[in-house]
Chain A
Amino acid sequence: MLAASAAIAAGLAVLAAVTDGFRAATTEGAWRLAVTERPRPLPDATFLDQSGHAFRLSGLRGRPVLVDFFYTSCPTICGLLASQFQAMSDSLAERSRGREVVLLSVSFDLERDGVTELADYAARLGSDGRIWRIARVNAPDELRDLLDAFGVVVLPDGGGGFVHNAAIYLIDAQGRLAGVYDPDAAERAIAEATK
């Protein structure tokens, strides 16, 4: 009886340790928890936006930034993210003339998404390039570092596209990754960014 009780106690302790206190059973859940509890520094990546303007992540410091990762030919989840960013962009434009928060959509398809494709995508979705910027990085190693820092895993889907975890990421005014939200949680992301 004593041995069985000890086994139960040890088993529960191990389960608690590998689930962050029974709070996260998936890698994504654990990552969201870790980021919320301990904001992470991010690499100072250089981006190229839909107008061909280069800018660095550090250049956005001082204002919160909401980020998503996508590719323009994505047939699935990126569409949902884009509609959320459209809604956030409209909302921000109305309530603060866009001075509160920056929206940044980053393509990880370096092969196919050049500035022309990003400009077409931005025009289709109504991205103004001021409140909402559509961008990419130039170098593959810089992209890899960026995706690692955000906890984004991109896998080829075998049909020329990609499977990737979709989320809205919050970079706080100090330039740290401070929150990860579901793709359909735009209101919550805005609320966290502006509080």
Chain B
Amino acid sequence: MIPGVLLYMMLVAPPVAGWLEGSMVGHVLVQIPLLALAGGLFARGVSGGRGSALAGFNAGGILGLLVAVFAVTVWMLPRMLDAALRSALVETAKFTTVPLLVGAPLAVSWPLLPPVARGFVWANVISHAAVLGWLYSVAPNRLCTRYLFDQQATLGMTLLIVAIALLLGWGGVAIVGAPQTAQSTRRA
């Protein structure tokens, strides 16, 4: 719980927030994921692995996953990124909802998700990162009015690299993990 709180306190500190929001990559690929991580660490600490009081509603982790997916979709909209930079109210909403509605439900729900659902989530994260990265790289217009064109292209390239890295990492785990699973099956 404490690491989550410390990470959150660091991220909301105006110099850190201003520095991360100074670039599109910092805003989209560092600040928002770290805010979600802070929420996740906090939720894990609070629940202590015992599951949440909402466990009855969150059977199989589906509810938490849906909440996280919709919340992160909202904060990936270019106009919401602009709005967070323009309005203190929207910025506060981002600092509140990303940890609470993305990180926390995801952390609580992930262990409950069946392996097939986790694979589905990873496949979607990778494909969306690749598609968004390509779109940001080739878009002829600026999608965010508060960021320069080259920052948008850099975000696009970074998203493509992240997609490839995740694909290799996920694929590697799947391939390396497969023989172990077979071995344990034989032992059983």
Interface residues of chain A, those whose CB is within 8 Å of chain B, are: 3-4, 7-8, 10-12, 14-15, 18-19, 24-30, 153, 155, 157-158, 163, 165
B58 touches A3 (CB 8 A): yes
A28 touches B141 (CB 8 A): yes
Contacts of A10 in B (CB 8 A): 70
Min CB distance B43 to A, Å, is: 17
Contacts of A14 in B (CB 8 A): 70, 74
User: Please, how many angstroms separate the alpha-carbon atoms of A7 and B141 in the complex?
Assistant: 34
Query: If A26-B144, A28-B145 touch, does A4 touch B63 (CB 8 Å cutoff)?
Result: yes
B148 touches A25 (CB 8 A): no
Q: Which single residue of chain A is at the shortest CB-CB distance from B69?
A: A11
The interface bits of chain B over 137-165 (1 if a CB of A lies within 8 angstroms of the residue's CB, else 0) are: 00001111110110000000000000000
User: Please, how many angstroms separate the alpha-carbon atoms of A43 and B143 in the complex?
Assistant: 27
Binds A, one of B1-9, B31-39, B79-87, B175-183: B79-87
Contacts of B71 in A (CB 8 A): 11
B146 touches A157 (CB 8 A): no
User: Please, how many angstroms separate the alpha-carbon atoms of A29 and B144 in the complex?
Assistant: 10
User: Please, how many angstroms separate the alpha-carbon atoms of A3 and B66 in the complex?
Assistant: 10
The interface bits of chain B over 5-44 (1 if a CB of A lies within 8 angstroms of the residue's CB, else 0) are: 0000000000000000000000000000000000000000
A18 touches B79 (CB 8 A): yes
User: Please, how many angstroms separate the alpha-carbon atoms of A3 and B52 in the complex?
Assistant: 15
A155 touches B83 (CB 8 A): no
In the complex, the number of residue pairs spanning A and B with C-beta atoms less than 8 Å apart equals: 65
Q: Is B77 an interface residue (CB 8 A)?
A: yes
Query: If A26-B144, A157-B148 touch, does A7 touch B70 (CB 8 Å cutoff)?
Result: yes
Min CB distance B147 to A, Å, is: 8
Contacts of A30 in B (CB 8 A): 79
Contacts of A12 in B (CB 8 A): 70
Q: Is B67 an interface residue (CB 8 A)?
A: yes
B74 touches A25 (CB 8 A): no
Contacts of A163 in B (CB 8 A): 142, 148-149
> Which among B62, B67, B79, B149 is the interface contact of A26 at CB below 8 angstroms?
B79
User: Please, how many angstroms separate the alpha-carbon atoms of A8 and B143 in the complex?
Assistant: 27
> Which among A3, A11, A27 is the interface contact of B83 at CB below 8 angstroms?
A27
User: Please, how many angstroms separate the alpha-carbon atoms of A24 and B77 in the complex?
Assistant: 9
Min CB distance B80 to A, Å, is: 6
> Which among B57, B67, B145, B148 is the interface contact of A27 at CB below 8 angstroms?
B145
Q: Is B185 an interface residue (CB 8 A)?
A: no
Q: What would be 30 A-B contacts, judged by CB atoms less than 8 Å apart?
A: A3-B57, A3-B58, A3-B63, A4-B62, A4-B63, A10-B70, A11-B66, A11-B67, A11-B70, A12-B70, A15-B70, A19-B79, A24-B79, A25-B78, A25-B79, A26-B79, A26-B144, A26-B145, A27-B78, A27-B79, A27-B82, A28-B141, A28-B142, A29-B79, A153-B145, A157-B148, A158-B148, A163-B142, A165-B142, A165-B145
Q: Is B184 an interface residue (CB 8 A)?
A: no
Contacts of A27 in B (CB 8 A): 78-79, 82-83, 144-145
Contacts of B58 in A (CB 8 A): 3
A15 touches B144 (CB 8 A): no
Q: Which single residue of chain B is at the shortest CB-CB distance from A10?
A: B70
